[in-house]
């Protein structure tokens, strides 16, 4: 059997976080009633003119700068002609020959191996509306709220070689967009979506194989599964002596398969041409300077800083910086208590677990970063044990508030007073004469048993260091 290598290129659509649409002043709000955010421009009435939203240009340009693209001083809007009920104009305004940005790159890290993925182009375009098929009244409706919402399409070079690399690239892109504050990155609501182009070739061969384009993948997990499935499907085809056909395929997450949607012969000829209603977009160098100065610290740089300045492991730094809000949370906690590694440990274990279970993002947390810091400090200073800290964490996470007050209210302060602890130890030793005998006869492993008994008697509140010390003394 020949060995094959996968070749993957991604087309990503990101919805820009502008308040109004790209060519009219309608709201972009998600969740409004159907056709609430609609005017003659975005509903495709004749005789009206589109007016470009400068905020959308700013956001597209910032993304271009963030991934090292060359920005084209002049770019051109073009009409992409096709018919569909959710596209009342009969064409989508997009960019074709001259997009706003080209030749960028994104660095990824997969299993510790760094790689740079080329970005061919970023172009600006408007979104289409949405068809709603109603089963109850056997009819289809068109909702134009999303029509004319600003998008950027980011097209990668076919530089990825595995599903892991594709997902790493997507996660990095999403992270950058969210850091820039230009996209909410919500894959479920479709504000960050991707089409995956997949082909395979015998290892060592220069030429690319024929590709299939997979649509309809709306989570990182599904992107991974769809690509893996598609690679295997293409291998099976070649092994069976069949040729791969260039086509568009739809991913079905319920069945975990891709199925042909349309072939190349049915491929659209969009007859792109420059939109006569829109003048070419000229980027003002002064504005570009201003936008450049506004770029935030990007995920890659922040990750490096967290490793260097806070001493975090590569893995912890990557996880905590992936979401901008979580990285902010971490830094706020460190500002309250300068023990970054300890704070990172609590975030990586307790906090992320609770966030996952509650499906909450960092911006939605009730537990203030300063209160997380306080908790870490209480444990550090021996006021409570680490075990008690973990025990009360779910409550703190759910309600928020001052951990010190909670510890006091629940009477959980660690017993660090020797006389109180000695009392508990004496009681345990008196109740276990056989074990004491055995210990003194050489079975020193029993130390763990005594510690456990005292911990049980004190409901976990004994200071472990002091307990060990006192026990050793009493048993010698
Ligand atoms: P189209 O206009 O038909 O979508 P493009 O040339 O824009 O085609 O390419 C779309 C995407 O497909 C790009 O991300 C590109 O990297 C990727 N791509 C092109 N050729 C291949 C191939 N043989 N295998 C995998 N991906 C490919
Ligand atoms: Mg394409
Ligand atoms: Zn409108």
Using one digit for the tens of pLDDT, what is the confidence trace for 111-152? 889 999 999 999 999 999 999 998 888 899 999 999 999 999
Mean pLDDT of 411-425: 80
Which residue's CA is minimally distant from atom 14 of ligand 1?
Answer: 9
- Four-CA torsion 307, 310, 312, 316, nearest 10 degrees: -90
pLDDT digits (tens, 9 = 90+) for 369-412: 999 999 999 999 888 888 889 989 999 999 999 998 888 887 77
Distance 213 CA to ligand 1 centre (A): 8
Q: Which ligand is in closest contact with the Cα of 51? A: 3
Return the best residue to mutate from 158, 202, 267 for the ligand 1 pocket (most ligand atoms within 8 A of CB): 158
| Residues 430, 347 share a domain | no
Contact 446, 435 (CB under 8 A): yes
pLDDT digits (tens, 9 = 90+) for 441-464: 889 888 999 999 998 888 878 888
- Which residues are within 5 Å of ligand 3 (an ion), measured at CB? 24, 26, 39, 41-42
Residue 134 confidence (pLDDT)? 87
| Residues 399, 462 share a domain | no
Mean pLDDT of 211-218: 91
Residue 287 confidence (pLDDT)? 97
Give the ligand 1 atom nearest the CA of 159: 16
Residue 420 in this model has a pLDDT that exceeds 70: yes
Which of 290, 319, 344 is at the close of a domain?
290
| Residues 50, 162 share a domain | yes
Contact 380, 339 (CB under 8 A): yes
Give the ligand 1 atom nearest the CA of 210: 23
Q: Which ligand is in closest contact with the Cα of 149? A: 3
Q: Number of folded domains in the chain?
A: 3
Distance 100 CA to ligand 3 centre (A): 23
Give the ligand 1 atom nearest the CA of 213: 12
- The stretches of 44-194 forming alpha helices (DSSP H) are 54-66, 163-180
Report the interhelical angle of 447-457 vs 433-440 (nearest 10°): 150
Q: Which ligand is in closest contact with the Cα of 270? A: 1
pLDDT digits (tens, 9 = 90+) for 157-208: 999 999 999 999 999 999 999 999 999 999 988 899 999 999 999 999 999 9
CA distance 306 to 319: 11
Which residue's CA is minimally distant from atom 5 of ligand 1?
Answer: 155
Strand partners, 263: 247
Distance 14 CA to ligand 3 centre (A): 19
Residue 1 confidence (pLDDT)? 60
Distance 153 CA to ligand 2 centre (A): 9
Distance 80 CA to ligand 3 centre (A): 19
Q: Which ligand is in closest contact with the Cα of 39? A: 3
Distance 252 CA to ligand 1 centre (A): 21
| Residues 439, 335 share a domain | no
| Residues 335, 233 share a domain | no
Residue 264 confidence (pLDDT)? 65
CA distance 248 to 215: 7
pLDDT digits (tens, 9 = 90+) for 48-106: 999 999 999 999 999 999 999 999 999 999 999 999 999 999 999 999 999 999 999 99
Give the ligand 1 atom nearest the CA of 155: 14
Which residue's CA is minimally distant from atom 15 of ligand 1?
Answer: 9
CATH classification of the domain holding 443: 1.10.10.410
Strand partners, 101: 71, 122
Which of 290, 325, 352 is at the close of a domain?
290
CA distance 103 to 107: 14
| Residues 158, 90 share a domain | yes
Mean pLDDT of 36-51: 95
| Residues 281, 347 share a domain | no
Residue 413 confidence (pLDDT)? 75
Q: Which ligand is in closest contact with the Cα of 8? A: 1
Percent of the chain whose predicted confidence (pLDDT) is above 70: 99
Which residue range(s) make up the domain with 432? 418-475
Which of 273, 290, 307 is at the close of a domain?
290
Residue 310 in this model has a pLDDT that exceeds 90: yes
CA distance 147 to 141: 14
Global confidence as pTM: 0.86
| Residues 428, 366 share a domain | no
Which residue's CA is minimally distant from atom 24 of ligand 1?
Answer: 199
| Residues 220, 349 share a domain | no
Distance 100 CA to ligand 2 centre (A): 16
| Residues 284, 162 share a domain | yes
Distance 148 CA to ligand 3 centre (A): 7
Return the best residue to mutate from 118, 155, 234, 265 for the ligand 1 pocket (most ligand atoms within 8 A of CB): 155
Which residue's CA is minimally distant from atom 3 of ligand 1?
Answer: 213
Residue 18 confidence (pLDDT)? 97
Distance 11 CA to ligand 2 centre (A): 7
Give the ligand 1 atom nearest the CA of 199: 24
Contact 337, 377 (CB under 8 A): yes
| Residues 456, 336 share a domain | no
CB-based pocket (< 6 A), ligand 1: 7-11, 155-158, 197-199, 208-209, 211
CA distance 375 to 379: 6
Instruction: Round the average pLDDT of the chain to a whole number and report it.
Output: 93
Distance 31 CA to ligand 1 centre (A): 33
Distance 127 CA to ligand 2 centre (A): 15
Residue 173 confidence (pLDDT)? 97
Of 97-101, 281-285, 288-292, 398-402, which gets the smallest average pLDDT? 398-402
Residue 475 in this model has a pLDDT that exceeds 90: no
| Residues 353, 264 share a domain | no
CA distance 43 to 417: 75
Contact 248, 212 (CB under 8 A): yes
Return the best residue to mutate from 123, 197, 243, 268 for the ligand 1 pocket (most ligand atoms within 8 A of CB): 197
Distance 198 CA to ligand 1 centre (A): 8
How would you classify residue 111: left for phi > 0, otherwise alpha for psi between -120 and 50, otherwise beta? Answer: left
CA distance 268 to 290: 40
Residue 262 in this model has a pLDDT that exceeds 80: no
């Amino acid at each position: 059997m020949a060995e094959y290598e996968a070749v993957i290129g991604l087309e990503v659509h990101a919805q820009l976080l502008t308040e109004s649409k790209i060519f009219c002043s309608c709201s972009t709000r998600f969740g409004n009633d159907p056709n609430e955010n609609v005017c003659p421009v975005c509903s495709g009435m004749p005789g009206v003119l589109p007016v470009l939203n400068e905020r959308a240009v700013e956001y597209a340009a910032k993304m271009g700068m963030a991934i090292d693209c060359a920005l084209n001083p002049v770019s051109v809007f073009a009409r992409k002609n096709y018919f569909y009920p959710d596209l009342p104009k009969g064409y989508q305004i997009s960019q074709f020959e001259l997009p706003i940005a080209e030749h960028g790159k994104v660095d990824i890290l997969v299993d510790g191996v760094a790689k740079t993925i080329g970005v061919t182009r970023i172009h600006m375009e408007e979104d289409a509306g949405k068809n709603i098929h109603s089963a109850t009244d056997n009819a289809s409706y068109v909702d134009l709220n999303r029509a004319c919402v600003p998008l950027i399409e980011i097209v990668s070079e076919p530089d990825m070689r595995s599903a892991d690399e594709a997902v790493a690239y997507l996660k990095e892109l999403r992270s950058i967009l969210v850091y820039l504050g230009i996209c909410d990155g919500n894959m479920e609501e479709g504000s960050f979506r991707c089409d995956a182009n997949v082909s395979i070739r015998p290892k060592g061969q220069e030429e690319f194989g024929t590709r299939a384009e997979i649509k309809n993948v709306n989570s990182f997990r599904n992107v991974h599964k769809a690509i893996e499935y598609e690679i295997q499907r293409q291998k099976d085809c070649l092994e069976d002596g069949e040729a791969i056909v260039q086509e568009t395929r739809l991913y079905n997450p319920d069945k975990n398969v891709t199925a042909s949607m349309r072939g190349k012969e049915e491929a659209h000829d969009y007859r792109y041409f420059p939109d006569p209603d829109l003048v070419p977009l000229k980027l003002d160098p002064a504005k570009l300077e201003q936008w450049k100065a506004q770029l935030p610290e990007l995920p890659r740089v922040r990750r490096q800083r967290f490793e260097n300045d806070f001493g975090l492991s590569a893995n912890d730094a990557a996880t905590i910086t992936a979401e901008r809000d979580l990285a902010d949370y971490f830094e706020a906690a460190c500002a309250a208590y300068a023990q970054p590694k300890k704070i990172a440990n609590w975030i990586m274990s307790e906090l992320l677990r609770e966030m996952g279970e509650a499906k909450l993002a960092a911006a939605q947390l009730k537990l203030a970063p300063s209160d997380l810091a306080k908790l870490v400090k209480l444990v550090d200073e021996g006021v409570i044990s680490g075990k008690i800290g973990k025990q009360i964490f779910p409550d703190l996470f759910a309600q928020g508030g001052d951990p010190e007050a909670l510890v006091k209210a629940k009477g959980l302060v660690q017993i660090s007073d020797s006389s109180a602890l000695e009392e508990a130890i004496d009681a345990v030793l008196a109740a276990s004469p056989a074990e004491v005998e055995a210990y003194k006869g050489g079975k020193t492993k029993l130390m763990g048993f005594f510690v456990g008994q005292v911990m049980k008697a004190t409901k976990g509140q004994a200071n472990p260091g002091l307990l060990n010390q006192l026990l050793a003394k009493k048993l010698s």
